[in-house]
Amino acid sequence: MSRAWLIGAGPGDVELMTLKATRALAQADVVLVDDLVNPEVLQFARADALVVHVGKRGGHPSTPQAEIVAQMLEHVRAGRSVARLKGGDPFVFGRGGEEQQALHAAGIEVEVVNGITAGIAAPAAIGIPVTHRDHAQGVVFVTGHSAGSGEPDWRALVATRMTLVIYMGMRRLNDIAGTLLAAGMAADTPCAAIESATRPGQRHALAQLGGLADAVARAGLGSPAIVVIGGVASLALARAAANADAAGAR
């Protein structure tokens, strides 16, 4: 019997994939996989499964969304079980909602298997909690680029005084930082940018908002990356300073 799943593969480290995700992946006849998924995750797929790489990575060529949906529908209608495998969580900037709508419109039920989103995992990887009683009573996940829906209301986001976690914002980081400053955010607001979080190649840069874009450029960071803006980032800054002091003492 054919089935469809929208599966979150987590932030990168294969050990952060959920048990439910591995079990669902092991049942699929066809796996449509995004570029940001760690290839090691495919060890949980059946040996005879058809694996189709469909791209979907910000700033890079990728398979059109309509074509991905068409492939899913074609396979399910042919009696095959299909797993749509995405980095992070399928419902957090993963277009999982759009794919669920398309499948439901075609009369096909789909099971959503959540994954750990990079917006939580990346900050945690360098010691940043996205919420903290002393720094932020909430967190806002926001995309650094839009799909025809206009810019986020950065001034309103600044007014929330919550942690800002920005996905897909590296190419526009200088513009974003400038807009936040113009909206009244303090230039000394702690920030972090984390590239390839939870993977062996993980790197990060720590800076205040006024110098964030320059710090990222000096470190040579690129996508995929998460940017954290707010008082909680000071916890990583404090840890980095403590580590530097300890190294100097030795």
Which residues lie closer than 8 Å to 148 by C-beta, 6 or more apart?
none
Give pLDDT tens digits for 48-59: 999 999 976 655
Domain boundary (80, 113, 146) is at 113
Give pLDDT tens digits for 128-175: 999 999 999 999 999 987 654 578 899 999 999 999 999 999 999 999
CB 47 within 8 A of CB 26: no
Q: Do 44 and 68 fall within a single domain?
A: yes
Residue 246 lies in a domain: no
Q: Do 222 and 136 fall within a single domain?
A: yes
Q: What is the pLDDT of residue 107?
A: 94
Give the pairing of strands 190-195 and 225-229. Answer: antiparallel
pLDDT above 80 (res 239):
no
Q: Do 125 and 198 fall within a single domain?
A: yes
Q: What is the CATH number of the domain that holds 175?
A: 3.30.950.10
Using only C-alpha atoms, the chain has a radius of gyration, in whole angstroms, of 20
- Give one DSSP letter per residue of 68-117, joined into a string: HHHHHHHHHHTT--EEEEESB-TTSSSSHHHHHHHHHHTT---EEE----
Which residues lie closer than 8 Å to 40 by C-beta, 6 or more apart?
14
In the sheet with 30-34, reading across from the earlier edge strand, the strands are 50-55, 30-34, 82-86, 4-8, 111-113
Sign of CA dihedral 38, 77, 61, 117: negative
Q: What is the pLDDT of residue 66?
A: 92
Domain boundary (91, 113, 135) is at 113
Amino acid of residue 50: L
User: Residue 208 forms beta bridges with which residues?
Assistant: 190
Short-list 124, 44, 49, CA closest to 81: 49
Q: Do 82 and 152 fall within a single domain?
A: no
Q: Do 95 and 138 fall within a single domain?
A: no
- 242 pLDDT band, cuts 50/70/90, is low
Q: What is the CATH number of the domain that holds 109?
A: 3.40.1010.10
CA dihedral 179, 131, 125, 142 (to 10 degrees): -40
Give the pairing of strands 30-34 and 82-86. Answer: parallel
Domain boundary (113, 136, 156) is at 113
Give the pLDDT mean for 208-235: 96
User: Residue 190 forms beta bridges with which residues?
Assistant: 208
Q: What is the pLDDT of residue 240?
A: 65
Owning domain of residue 130? 118-241
The total of structural domains in the chain comes to 2
Q: Which residue has the tokens 């899913």?
A: 72
Omega cis (within 30) before 224: yes
Q: What is the pLDDT of residue 63?
A: 84
The proportion of the chain whose per-residue pLDDT surpasses 70, expressed as a percent, equals 90
Residue 249 lies in a domain: no
As annotated, the active-site residues are: 34, 56, 168
Give pLDDT tens digits for 13-67: 999 999 999 999 999 999 999 999 999 999 999 999 999 999 766 555 678 989 9
Q: Do 52 and 107 fall within a single domain?
A: yes
CB 141 within 8 A of CB 165: yes
